[in-house]
Structures are given as structure tokens and as C-alpha cells.
Amino acid sequence: MLDATSLEVYRYAVGHPGWTRADASEALGLTLRRIDAAIGELSGRRLLSPQAGSEEGLVAVSPDVALADLVDADERALQELRTRISGRRRELSSLLPTFLEARKSVLASTSVETLEDPHLIHRVLIDYGRDVTEKVYIAQPGQGSTADVHEESVRKDLELLENGVRRRTLYDTSTRDHVPTRKAVEAIAAGGGEFGVLPFIPLRMLIFDDKLALVGRQLTRDDKAALVIRDHSLINIFTHLFDIAWEVSESFLAPQQVESPLSSMQRSIIQGLANGLSDESIARRLDINVRTCRRHIAWMLETLRADSRFQAALKAREAGWV
């Protein structure tokens, strides 16, 4: 902001074209030192300019003209910067297909590769999901995905089914109560997709034909890395394990034979109790926090009038609830 002296000098300049520093000093009663300081401030903002044909005369410049003059150089520099950024973006973007193709070749020559980058994992899924011709097997632990994620998945899965690809997915039993997942399953099942559930899914896995298997590394709960497997012997082993799990699974959409007050998640928790698992282990397997798990357990102990965790599991089985 202009100080009071500079503003006073500018007002004087607007009404007295061709003024000099001596004129302003006499008219405003300000010292030449203060007049010179104000002229410096105003000139720096392009609000003053020399009068044509005069050595000492000055004229005021309107603020809009001063602004245009002041930012013109900055705008030119900004436009040049944007042009350079756009050029760099085009240059580097043109290299992306080369990088991905080279990376794909490297992966193809490696029987087992660990991918840490979620973006690269996603690219591998897209590439092989596009090329699949026979089957896609998926084992998905934990809770279901969001409705947005499912919407994109449904579209791609229906396209695969239309092309004659077999699509099988194993979910955790608790996902039967997850509305977005259930709606997605119903939509894909209508197109020929197959879905089963198990009380526990030990690992995240995708198998594309007999060419590729992606298995979650899962060193920790937040580990997003994946093992990319191209060795046919290993792929056959994982496919065989999936087939065994599929044989003992229940249909995702199968109606409950016995009316049960327990939700799918609670039935999974009861199953964990029957197997002697700790609260922490059950929560980790179902991808819920321990507090939520314990709240369900307390409610079920009360509902079943059980004195212990094991007795609760036993009573639930006797009642046909699990």
C-alpha cells in the first residue's frame, strides 16, 4: 500500500500535469527528501512518468494503465513458463508407452516380481485384464469396495463375460451384508459371473488365464505391494488352491436356510470364535477394528445367553445360525 505522503503527491500529480519536485514541495509543504521518496514509490508502481519534452516535468499515470505496464513482463514470463511446462509434459508423456512396454518385457522375463508402486500394479491389471481370453479368478479378503469402484468393475466384468471369459470371485462371508458389493455381485451374476463366500479369505489373489497371477504380499495390514507371478508351475498351484476353496464355498447369493438374527459379519466372527481365534486375529481377518469386533462379541454373548466365547459359537451352531 502507498503511504500517506505518496498518496498526497499522487493526488497533486493528477491535478498538475508537468509538475516538478520543487512545485510539489512548495504546494504541499513537504521537504524535497520526502517528495523524492514519494516519487520513487510512485515510479516503482508505474504511476508516474516523465513528461515528453521536459527534463524535470512529471505526469500521473492512471492505475489501470500502470497495472498493465507493471504486470506485462510478469504475464509474458508466466506464459513462457506455461509453454515450457506444456512442452515438457508432452515430451515425457510420449515416453510413457515406451516405459510401460519395456517394463512389461522385464516383468515377462521374471517368474516372480515384486511391485511396490500401486500405479504400476494397476497398469499390469489393466494390460492383462484386457488380454484375458479364458478365465479370471479372484480371491478378495476383507470388506467390499466402494460403490464407485464397483461401478467401474461391473462394466469391465460384463464385457469379459460377453467375450466368453469365465469370471469367479471368492469373498469373505461378511460382505454379503455390504450393500455396494451385493449390488455389484447381483449385476455381474446376471451376466454369468460366479461368486462364492468363505468364512475367511487368507490372501488377495487374481489369476488371469494361465499366464499371470497377482498375489498380495500382505506383510502388514497396510502393505499394498503385489507379487506378479508368471511361472506356470506356481500359477497352477494357486489355481488349484482356488479350485479347492471354490468347492467348499457357498454361493454369495444363496438364501439362508435358517432365519438368523446374526449378520454375515457376526457369523464370521462366531466362526472365528469356534476356531479359537483371538479378537485381534478375527478383526484382522475381517478388516475391522478390534473395538468393533469386541462390540459384536459382547452383543452375541448376551443374545445367545452364553457364558463363554466357545459356548456362544456352540449355541449358534446348534441353532443353525452358522
Domain membership of residue 67 (yes or no) is: no
pLDDT digits 0-9 by tens, 167-188: 999 998 888 878 888 888 999 9
- Mean pLDDT computed over every residue of the chain: 83
d(CA 109, CA 111): 7
Q: Is the pLDDT of residue 255 over 70?
A: no
Domain membership of residue 79 (yes or no) is: no
pLDDT digits 0-9 by tens, 276-307: 788 888 888 787 888 888 888 888 888 888 88
Domain membership of residue 97 (yes or no) is: no
Supply the pTM of this predicted model.
Answer: 0.52
Last residue of one domain, picked from the residues 221, 251, 281: 251
* Beta carbons within 8 Å of 63's beta carbon, 6+ residues apart: 47
For residue 43, the model assigns a pLDDT of 87
DSSP label at 255? P
Q: What is the mean pLDDT of residues 18-31?
A: 87
User: Are 287 and 187 members of one domain?
Assistant: no
For residue 81, the model assigns a pLDDT of 85
CATH number of the domain within which 216 lies: 3.30.870.10
Last residue of one domain, picked from the residues 251, 280, 310: 251
CA atoms within 13 Å, Cβ hemisphere of 43? 10
Q: Is the pLDDT of residue 257 over 70?
A: no
For residue 240, the model assigns a pLDDT of 93
d(CA 252, CA 215): 22
DSSP label at 254? P
Closest CA to 110 of 12, 197, 194, 231: 231
Domain membership of residue 125 (yes or no) is: yes
pLDDT digits 0-9 by tens, 62-89: 888 878 777 777 777 888 888 888 888 8
User: Are 39 and 118 members of one domain?
Assistant: no
Share of the chain above pLDDT 70, in %: 93
d(CA 32, CA 38): 10
SS3 content of the chain, % helix, strand, coil (to 5): 55, 15, 30
For residue 106, the model assigns a pLDDT of 60
Closest CA to 144 of 320, 262, 11, 286: 286
CATH number of the domain within which 301 lies: 1.10.10.10
Domain that includes residue 142, residue range: 112-251
**Distance between terminal CA atoms of the chain?**
75
User: Are 210 and 306 members of one domain?
Assistant: no
Number of domains in the chain: 3
Domain membership of residue 17 (yes or no) is: yes
